[in-house]
Amino acid sequence: MKRLILIILMFLLFLPIGCNNPHEGFKDDDRLKVVTSFYIMYDFTYKIAKDKVQIINLVDSSSDAHDFEFTSKDIILLENADILFYNGLGFEPWIDDIKESLTNKNLKMVNTSEKITPLEGDPHSWLSVINAISQIEVIKDTLIKYDEDNKDFYNENFNSVLNTLNNLHEDYVTTISSFTKKDIVVSHEAFGYLCHEYGLNQIGIYDIYNSDEPDIKRITEIIDFINENKITTIFYEPNINKEKVEFIANQTKTNIEILNPIEGLTKKEIKDNEDYISIMQKNLIALEGALK
């Protein structure tokens, strides 16, 4: 009996490691083997490459990308890969360690934000649609460089995405310029690039890295800010503990709504075929509801 309990305990102990990275490695075929660091990189790459390359995402879409720690399974995956697309700007603090752990000298590690003007300390570049276009273009150029045979296919997909994203950007510019209010209160201070691009200000309950729990002083500051500026809505993101957000909303009689930094997808979002574009459209509707 003791032995059985021990086996069950050991099984439970090791279970999360197996579940953390569900990827099963690349198939043995001629297509480029591409690894993406987290959901946004996966979505951007898929929009250009579709099934012309093999794409495996490192951070499981439903996990918190800020808390990712790579495992030996990820190293094995990258030893067999041709390209790793990552966001850069510090979003993947593990990138240098992973580089040191690899013997695969043929792996191209591509920083997709290389052409973006950084906002100090903020890695969430993709929340400006203009930055998203720049990052997708880096992905497209890289794919063409290493897989020239599919150049026309990649260019065609890029032009189609570019058209959609230019329209999305125009929607943001036009809609937000009509808002009378410009301040948003958010759970995780991830919207610096969005605010910078479209003329909003964000106040975060949690910081840029979604790490430290807010103390009483911070919560009091947020409550005062909400009352002084007649804020009607507090934004939070899917997959977080809403306790602090709900506490502040109760104290200030404000609504809570989702504003999604798109660091991953919930199971429901995956089921509903959501992507960067559909979620950014929903984000704009949410902003409109709060600020118009």
> Would you tell me which residues interact with Zn ion (CB under 5 A)?
190
Nearer to Zn ion, 142 or 283 (CB): 283
Nearer to Zn ion, 68 or 198 (CB): 68
* Cβ at position 43, least distance to Zn ion in Å: 16
Residue 102 and residue 78 in contact, taking contact as beta carbons nearer than 8 Å: yes
Residue nearest Zn ion, CB atom distance: 190
Residue 112 and residue 88 in contact, taking contact as beta carbons nearer than 8 Å: yes
* Cβ at position 14, least distance to Zn ion in Å: 29
* Residue in 117, 287, 266 with CA at minimum distance from that of residue 191: 287
Residue 237 and residue 256 in contact, taking contact as beta carbons nearer than 8 Å: no
Instruction: List Cα–Cα distances, 166 to 32, 43, 173, 195, 256, in angstroms.
Output: 29, 17, 11, 18, 29
φ/ψ bin of 38: left (φ > 0), alpha (ψ from -120 to 50), beta (otherwise): beta
Nearer to Zn ion, 190 or 231 (CB): 190
Nearer to Zn ion, 53 or 259 (CB): 259
* Cβ at position 237, least distance to Zn ion in Å: 8
Nearer to Zn ion, 190 or 205 (CB): 190
Strands 201-206 and 54-57, how do they pair?
unpaired
* Cβ at position 190, least distance to Zn ion in Å: 4
CA 216, distance to chain mean position in Å, is: 29
CA distance 6 to 15: 14
Nearer to Zn ion, 83 or 127 (CB): 127
* Cβ at position 224, least distance to Zn ion in Å: 25
Nearer to Zn ion, 77 or 190 (CB): 190
* Cβ at position 20, least distance to Zn ion in Å: 19
Please report the beta strands in the chain, taking only residues with DSSP state E, as ranges in sequence order.
33-36, 54-57, 83-86, 108-111, 183-188, 201-206, 233-236, 255-258
* Cβ at position 252, least distance to Zn ion in Å: 24
Residue 40 and residue 87 in contact, taking contact as beta carbons nearer than 8 Å: yes
